[in-house]
Amino acid sequence: PEDHRLAGRHVIVTSGPTHEPIDPVRYIANRSSGAQGTAIASALRDLGARVSFVTGPADVPPPTGVQVIRVQTARQMRDAVEAALPADAAVMAAAVADWQVVNAQDSKIKKDGSGLPPVLEFAENPDILAWLSRLEESRPGLVVGFAAETDDVIAHATAKRLRKGADWIVANDVSPETGIMGGSENAVTLISDDGAEEWPRMDKTDVARRLAERIADALTGPVLY
């Protein structure tokens, strides 16, 4: 039926922040609420897709009617995405930490009385979007990434699309004055092979619905899964 255009399709959605441990009680994180990723997963489900929802520790509860895979770190998120393959499409809406702490401790770090703070050493995390976009055998037919930028949004997002190998980038301006990060609205530009298409400012749930419709439009091949 017209309202279940994604029936028989499998879509992987990543969402939320990742937490990168420093020791058993401390971590590095970011302010992602998980709102946009959660809304996208709900919208895809509403169109009949089977959704694997790979989420870091988010503020908002995950949608019902999707398979929820909870992770903490970027590496766990990558592994969960890999385990969820194959998929017709993937939407990488997570705010993945760029770095992990390589000298994370197994027990709580104590002040040692020297007055010297501990030194954290960082290593780059896997870029899940870039890795997924370049898979040879099991690359999803449509890979969608996000680009949260504060300046030159379209130029940076267009470069990001090419650098990471994604099909589409949903770009948005997260400058503090927009109120978008953590807010209920979003103003995005959809960047594809066809160029940049600016969408009006709307509720994150409406961005999600519109994106889900576009994904349904794009998936025209035979239903495989």
Residues in touch with ligand C5P (CB under 6 A): 14, 74, 92, 94, 96, 125-129, 145-147
Selection from 106, 8, 92 nearest residue 48 by Cα: 8
Q: Is 128 annotated as a binding residue?
A: yes
When the beta carbons of 109 and 154 are compared against ligand C5P, the nearer one is 154
Smallest distance from ligand C5P to CB 38, Å: 14
Buried b (16+ CB within 10 A) or exposed e, 47-63: bebbbbbbbbebeeebb
Concerning whether 30 is annotated as a catalytic residue, the answer is yes
199 φψ region: left (φ > 0), alpha (ψ -120 to 50), beta (else): beta
Smallest distance from ligand C5P to CB 116, Å: 31
Q: Is 98 annotated as a binding residue?
A: yes
When the beta carbons of 49 and 129 are compared against ligand C5P, the nearer one is 129
When the beta carbons of 80 and 128 are compared against ligand C5P, the nearer one is 128
Q: Is 110 annotated as a binding residue?
A: no
Q: Is 3 annotated as a binding residue?
A: no
Distances (CA, A) of 19 to 23, 78, 184: 11, 13, 23
Smallest distance from ligand C5P to CB 143, Å: 9
Query: What's the rounded Cα separation, in Å, for the pair 8 and 224?
Result: 8
Contact predicate 52/66, CB 8 Å: yes
Smallest distance from ligand C5P to CB 184, Å: 20
Q: Is 204 annotated as a binding residue?
A: no
Q: How many other CB atoms are there within 10 angstroms of residue 112's CB atom? A: 9
When the beta carbons of 96 and 208 are compared against ligand C5P, the nearer one is 96
- One-letter amino acid at 210 equals R
Selection from 12, 2, 1, 6 nearest residue 47 by Cα: 6
Catalytic annotation, pick one of 30, 103, 172, 186? 30
Distances (CA, A) of 162 to 49, 147, 167: 27, 12, 9
Binding site, by residue number, is 98, 108, 126-129, 146, 160, 164
Instruction: Tell me which residues are annotated as active site.
Output: 30
Binding site for CTP, by residue number, is 98, 108, 126-129, 146, 160, 164
